[in-house]
Amino acid sequence: MSSDLPGPDELAAAYAETRKASRVTPLLDAPGLAAQIGAAGLWVKAENLQRAGSFKLRGAWWRLACLSEAEKARGVVAYSSGNFAQGLAAAGREMGVPVTIVMPVDAPEMKRRATEGFGARVVLSEHGERPREEVASALAQKIAADQGLVLLHPFDDPRIVAGQAGAALEAMEQLGCAPDIVLCPVGGGGLMGGVALAVRAANPAAEIWAVEPAGYDGMGRSLAEGARLKVDGGATLCDALQATMPGAAPFAAAQAAGVKGLTVNDAEVRQALRVAFETLKLVLEPSGAVALAAVLAGKVQVTGRTVLVFATGGNIPFDRFAEILQAEQA
């Protein structure tokens, strides 16, 4: 394992620190769904109920906690399509760290408003036909250089990976054991990296799956090839999972932990949103539902095994949520 990867001691230290700010999110037992898919047990970690609506607060808090006092005073800048933006803005407000967020102009308005509501300055980026995350990243780098701000990456940072691991550590505390199978949504891979390191340390035999939307399976393809690859993207419901290449730090963590990748399509995501709402009483955004979608679609052999699924975000306007479910019925 790379020496740059956070070890168990850092994961534990990050978890101890982030617990000061994070909410203990429910670990939902879903016996009906477990019976439906043949699993011994199915548990859903409802990180959509985390403060600011996603797991992102965990990594953002630890990253800011690692800054020097001078860096905190200068302020930070990052790019995000919404969920990291909200988590970082919320953490910055509580820590007294000024936060600037570069957000693609077509990012959900609800996420932009919420980020501003936490006190962050939002700068919109116009990307045209270019990949929106790449354009937003370039603008964030320019702002950091011009204004002397500390540049933070939303996922490609070992400290972000360490902070996000708290979601898995907390879930295993609640479960009382390490699961046999874990499925986790992946955009750039920050959560996946942290989850993979935490779960692999607890259960060397666990299956760990990175779940991505079709067209944005950069992590899965990279793991299969043994090197980071860039993908082409395309249309997807999963607006928060549009990274075209996994981060170096998350990829190294996932590779070291023996993670494998799989994809889901929009129809499978719609079905997962409906099941989460009707069965688990959870409102998820499409990006937060991809791991559940993979389980429900039978993409992993779960017979007789204990399965942990991460539901990662719930930042979606009601009208959009209803529109997606109505399209699923059509």
Per-residue pLDDT of the chain (330 residues; tens, 9 = 90+): 344 899 999 999 999 999 999 999 999 999 999 999 999 999 999 999 999 999 999 999 999 999 999 999 999 999 998 799 999 999 999 999 999 999 999 888 888 999 999 999 999 999 887 877 889 999 999 999 999 999 999 999 999 999 999 999 999 999 999 999 999 999 999 999 999 999 999 999 999 999 999 999 999 999 999 999 999 889 999 988 988 999 999 999 999 999 999 999 999 999 999 999 999 999 999 999 999 999 999 999 999 999 999 999 999 999 999 999 998 665
- Three-class DSSP category at 298: coil
pLDDT score at 327: 85
260-264/207-213 β-pairing = parallel
For the domain 8-54+158-329, what is the CATH code? Answer: 3.40.50.1100
Are 208 and 182 spatial neighbours (Cβ–Cβ below 8 Å)? Answer: yes
- Three-class DSSP category at 317: coil
Comparing 8-54+158-329 with 56-151, is the CATH topology the same? yes
pLDDT score at 3: 47
pLDDT score at 265: 97
Are 84 and 56 spatial neighbours (Cβ–Cβ below 8 Å)? Answer: yes
Residue position matching structure tokens 């928060």: 240
**Domain ranges for the chain:** 8-54+158-329, 56-151
Q: Please state which of the four CATH numbers 3.90.1150.10, 3.40.50.1100, 3.40.640.10, 3.40.190.10 is assigned to the domain occupying 56-151.
A: 3.40.50.1100
pLDDT score at 2: 43
99-104/306-311 β-pairing = unpaired
pLDDT score at 1: 39
Are 31 and 41 spatial neighbours (Cβ–Cβ below 8 Å)? Answer: yes
Which of 246, 223, 238, 252 has its CA nearest to residue 284?
A: 238
Angle between helices 56-65 and 83-95 (to 10 degrees): 40
| Tokens, residue 93 | 């407000």
